[in-house]
Structure 1
């Protein structure tokens, strides 16, 4: 069967030609041949030059997601097994694989497909129509590749309960792939134990991308009084407690998250030193300032305040506000760990926003280090969307 051919307009496809994997609707001159959304198509430049093959979906603004730059490559089981094998081999070299992101979509050249491994459980997100067709095959390939290293996967759960699927013409979905199993999974990261709820936790159940950033704050927290804002299931707070902090307060607006964090503190024998409260951080920080509270370390790990370019202005206000408030709560010479997980809040804008906050409250910042996401969430230089996490540690000094 001959494949449909997508031809680009003259002068378009700049992202694709610089190593990217996406072709947008406004870049396409024509689609010749019959196809069903989700099918593999060939991609040609305006002059007929072959650019590769990928899957098409005219429901999406990203009409084609490239799979191979070789027009003659067969997109079959052997093709995907090589991609899965490459992704796993990379993780073995760069990270602790007991729990890690095994596949990170475009950054692993498997567009729209994300898999996290929590001990012996896999959690899958299928975000594009084309890759959804290969979902079960990819899961079986992952099990096969992991089994070669003696890792037996006891269960797979799908967490494709995300709005982005609607842009692909698919409904959000969650459920078991294969046999049902207990969806509470105990993992150990940086010496800290967690109960991960892969069925009802946020995203895939746990944020693996901050693994080494959590480790980085441990050395600052010995004998410290610590405030961890937007704590989720308590990961930064527990790393502080594990490192020997004398008192840790974790804050989150979700009672479910606070309950999970409290259970995780008990799991680690840290209930006496690590406490959690259910509060809105934007309300709590000014209240703590009014009381005259001071901390040796303040940690800010907020959710993405913006998921589009259109709301960036409000996001900047939010990031400036929490950083400004947090700096006021840090003892002179204490430390602030602050981050943004929004792709649209880029490095330059995030850095500038923190600088403005420091200026507004007359604080001097000494940068300890700048970090990004853990290497199991690789940043592909030709795929800007793969670089999203910015993480700073500063020493906060009074401006005098």
Structure 2
């Protein structure tokens, strides 16, 4: 195993527990040996004082040169290691009450950088987003089979970030083939999931707790949901007693599935959906003077790069300003952001700016993050990505 040495002056991020080590943080002269490590190799990392830092996998083609898997010098990175890590993650989810559907592995938060595993009933969907995790994919699948005896495992590695690691975009079965259209239960409701073609791993589990948070404010309300995707918030609103619900999404396929989800729960007369550009609709309906008791905004990430962060800020400000104007005085705005680069403080500042421009007074009802099966680790900003806010608008 090759040893990589850190430079004397590095970001305290690494010493404080963050698993990412960038190429410019490595003392290349001290780390150079006759054998050049290949992508996916396990390396030992030591600091400038020759103190053990951890074991991780390396990829010379990636900006993140090493991602640490363990800081325990006694660990051996083998099949048993991955089995143990997945078993520990499952024990944690069981302990906090997430068993039927959950994010089983949340990358760095579960000390498994660049690995995502979602559990839907007895089916599992995984993403190996870095070369090192791709190498261990057979061991990961073996561990899932051993621990869960699942009905099926599918990989959704059709994501561009893999190309930065020198990996192709692929998706397919990692078990015997199965029907990838399944139904899950969430908060007493049923939802169709399209594992094969749905966004990410097929369903957004991170909002499952937040969907319950709207139950009191939607009773007897006329509700508008923009960027509704497959209608999960809309269907929850109907279930919790909304008088009417209108969901908007630009995707015809998403709207079709939203209608199926409403029908699955007997709410097709309450929940209606339209395939339109939500940005355009919010802008036009504000001019038209439309009003709703509750407006829900749950847009996709506006940017994944720091270069476009200002565009994301402008986008969030615009939709929230228009959302506030569509809320009746004394009504509620439900708004979320999953853009990792927009940190919580900045998100709340954007909402405040929108309120000032809209000349609205806000009263916070609740502020939450992602569901607890997506754990937040202090010191790792990328693990706290979802912001969810309910405010009264006056």
TM-score, length basis structure 1: 0.96
Aligned to 1:79: 81
Q: Say yes or no: does 1:17 pair with 2:15.
A: yes
SS in 1 for 2:351: helix
Alpha-carbon offset, residue 78 of structure 1: 2.0
Aligned with 1:218: secondary structure?
coil
In structure 2, how many angstroms separate the alpha carbons of the residues matched to 1:383 and 1:136? 28
TM-score (normalizing by structure 2):
0.97
1:16 Cα deviation (Å)? 1.3
Residue correspondence of structure 1 range 107-122 to structure 2 within 5 A? 107-122=109-124
* TM-superposed deviation, 1:320: 0.5
Task: Tell me the alpha carbon deviations over residues 161-182 of structure 1, each in whole angstroms, 9 at most, x when there is no partner.
Answer: 1111011111111111021110
Structure 1 range deviating more: 38-47 or 196-205: 38-47
Match of 2:383 in 1: 386
Task: Quote the residue 1:63 is aligned against.
Answer: 65
| Cα shift at 1:343 | 0.9
Q: Is the 8 A contact 1:95 1:375 kept in 2?
A: no
Of 240, 244, 249, the residue aligned with 1:243 is 240
User: Is the Cα–Cα contact under 8 Å of residues 144 and 150 in structure 2 kept in the other structure?
Assistant: no
Distance 2:375 2:15 in 1: 20
Aligned to 1:372: 369
Secondary structure (helix, strand or coil) at the match of 1:339 reads strand
2:273 to 273, 276, 301: 276
Counterpart for residue 149 of structure 1 = none
Paired with 2:355 and 2:145, the residues of 1 have a C-alpha distance of: 49
> Tell me, which stretches of 5 or more residues in structure 1 are unaligned?
147-151
How many Å separate the matches in 2 of 1:83 and 1:296? 46
What do residues 196-236 of structure 1 show as CA deviations (whole Å, max 9, x unaligned)? 00000010000000001001012211111000110010000
State the aligned residue count. 390
Structure 1 runs of 4+ aligned residues shifted over 6 Å read none
Counterpart for residue 183 of structure 2: 186
Q: 1:357 aligns with which of 347, 354, 359?
A: 354
Aligned 8 A contact 2:59 2:165 in 1: yes
Whether the 8 Å contact between 2:38 and 2:60 is mirrored in structure 1 is no
Equivalent-residue separation in structure 2 for 1:141 and 1:70 (angstroms): 21
User: Is contact 1:210–1:374 with CA below 8 Å preserved after alignment?
Assistant: yes
Q: Would the aligned equivalents of 1:306 and 1:345 in 2 still touch at CA under 8 Å? A: no
The equivalent of 2:32 in structure 1 is: 32
Q: For residues 27-46 of structure 1, what are the alpha-carbon distances to aligned partners after superposition, in whole Å with 9 as ceiling and x for unaligned?
A: 01123332211000010112
Q: 2:169 aligned with 1:172, yes or no?
A: yes
Contact 2:154-2:174 at 8 Å conserved across structures: yes
Q: 1:13–1:288: structure 2 CA closer, same or farther, 3 Å change rule?
A: closer
Q: 296, 311, 331: which one pairs with 2:328?
A: 331
Q: CA deviation at 1:13?
A: 4.7
In the other structure, the counterpart of 1:51 is 53
- Of residues 303, 307, 312, the one that matches 1:315 is 312
Determine helix, strand or coil for the equivalent of 1:179. coil
- Return the offset for 1:289: 2.0
Q: Report the Cα distance in structure 2 between the residues aligned to 1:287 and 1:112, rounded to whole angstroms.
A: 41
